[in-house]
Amino acid sequence: MQRYPWTDGVNYVTQCPISPGKSHSTAQDTHLSVSLSLMLKFPILLGEWWNDGVEQVYKNFLAEGRNPKVSDAFLMNGQPGDLYPCSKQDTFKLSVEAGKTYLIRMVNAMMNYIMYFKIHNHNITVVGMDGTYTKPLNTDHVAIAPGQTMDFLLEANQPPNRYYMAGVVNATEADYVPTTGILDYLGNYTPPSSSPVLPSFPELSGNWASTHFSKRLRSLANDNYSIQVPKNITSNLFFVLSINLWPCLTNSCVQSERLLASVNNVVDAPAADRQHLEAYYKGIRGVFTPDFPAQPPRVFDFTQGDFPQSESHPLLGTAVYVLEYNSEVEIVLQGTNLGEGIDHPMHLHGYTVYVVGTGFGNFDPTRDPANYNLVDPPLMDTFAVPRNGWTVIRFKANNPGVWYMHCHFERHLSWGMKMVFIVKDGEGPNEKMLPPPPDMPPCDASPEALVFRI
């Protein structure tokens, strides 16, 4: 929300959680595109299901210090689909009339996976990402990361029948049964007695398909929907994203070291008795330090296979990075093969950003900027950094406040792959952060309130 980070909803950064037994009313700053998706006639919500209680799965995951238990099923609008034994009678069906075109909004609400989606024998046309228009992109499949939303047009232009819609993940990440729904043409025809045919997906043994899809996205960028890509960069940042190891201090860990995750080798571990935003607004010292590193502490071959043991151990801290109002920012986000080489869907609160470049390997500052797209880059609030690759974003820091950037894989977020920007006030009356509501809930340092602790 512009100039009002007080309802951004991040525990111990912009808000403190409501304590057990207490209540609080506030405006909810949901991601706009997600909110709108629930008002459309045809939303598709991708999710996960655990047979065990999700809260217990999460507690076990934090205690054991390793990857969480994988979900027992994928979901499409709340149902796993025909390929699972538990929901064949309730498989999600999308009814369409031949010859009509439908606007679909898709949301990836999964915890830990980039999803691929495809409809058998149908192409779709992507027209929006994260609530912003894109140039029409005709494709037979899409890739969508956790936290992302996507708008696409579906033409019901095939012979009336029942067609499978399917969602899958990278084969290297999990051996999962696809989730399915049925595109059901209305009309007088006899559907086949056998099940619909599953769509065939491209090679999914790596992240090539998702990166290739993302690189094809373009902003609409026309006279009616202009864009303003920052060109006069005043803040150049280079953030390295890594999975790290930390000595386990409890007997609950499966191994002697637990997994953590870092940005520039810093694991964000906020205090539980005060949040960053309140401390910044009131000038309270000791809650954070304004020295988050703009560059990694040491440059090495980030995507190689073997690393010295010293590279695996991060620092714990509550440092923030301070930006001047209206500064034009470029961030290179570099993935590594350290610990767990994997994609990172990154999300910046308070802003949408231009994704001006992405590629594999180590970012080359002398070569890669020549290939930036500064004409019509997609405008997004969640963007993927490819496995053993890099992504570059640009934005103008014109929304004062305290804003969170983090990986949208829940396990990486919980391990500490997150950091905080403070954007200072400008000079004008409409360039300053608004005051807090009078009934902000206080921080509670009880163990039940702690989200992440080493």
pLDDT in tens, 291-316: 999 999 988 889 887 666 666 789 99
Task: Report how far apart, in Å, the C-alpha atoms of 433 and of each of 1, 221, 395 are.
Answer: 11, 30, 18
CATH superfamily entry for domain 5-16+229-450: Cupredoxins -  blue copper proteins (2.60.40.420)
* 114 within 8 A of 343, measured Cβ to Cβ: yes
Instruction: List the one residue out of 419, 408, 428, 432 whose CA is nearest residue 114.
Output: 408
Q: DSSP 3-state assignment of 258?
A: strand
- Residues 97 and 85: their CA atoms lie apart, in Å, by 29
Bridge partners of residue 46, in order along the sequence? 76, 108
- Residues 445 and 19: their CA atoms lie apart, in Å, by 10
- Residues 25 and 39: their CA atoms lie apart, in Å, by 23
Phi/psi at 55 (5° precision)? -60, -40
Bridge partners of residue 344, in order along the sequence? 385
| CATH 2.60.40.420 residue ranges for the chain | 5-16+229-450, 40-201+208-213
Q: DSSP 3-state assignment of 92?
A: coil
pLDDT, residue 318, reads 92
Phi/psi at 441 (5° precision)? -70, 140
- Residues 402 and 422: their CA atoms lie apart, in Å, by 5
Q: Which residues of the chain have pLDDT under 50?
A: 29-40, 446-452
What's the predicted TM-score (pTM) here? Answer: 0.91
CA angle 133-136-142, nearest 5°? Answer: 95
Q: Using CA atoms of 7, 11, 16, 17 in order, give the dihedral in degrees to the nearest 10.
A: 100
CA angle 106-107-112, nearest 5°? Answer: 135
Output the six-digit token pair for 385. Answer: 């950094």
pLDDT, residue 165, reads 98
pLDDT, residue 90, reads 86
Q: Which residues contact 266 (CB under 8 A, 6 or more apart)?
A: 292, 293, 314, 315, 316, 317, 319, 419
pLDDT, residue 149, reads 97
Number of residues written out for the chain: 454
How many CB atoms are closer than 10 A to CB 329?
22
Q: How far apart are the first and last CA of the chain?
A: 32
Enter the CATH code of domain 40-201+208-213: 2.60.40.420
DSSP 359-383: EESS--TTTGGGG---SS--EESEE
CA angle 260-449-259, nearest 5°? Answer: 10
Q: Which residues contact 20 (CB under 8 A, 6 or more apart)?
A: 448
pLDDT, residue 252, reads 78
- Residues 112 and 409: their CA atoms lie apart, in Å, by 5
pLDDT, residue 191, reads 80
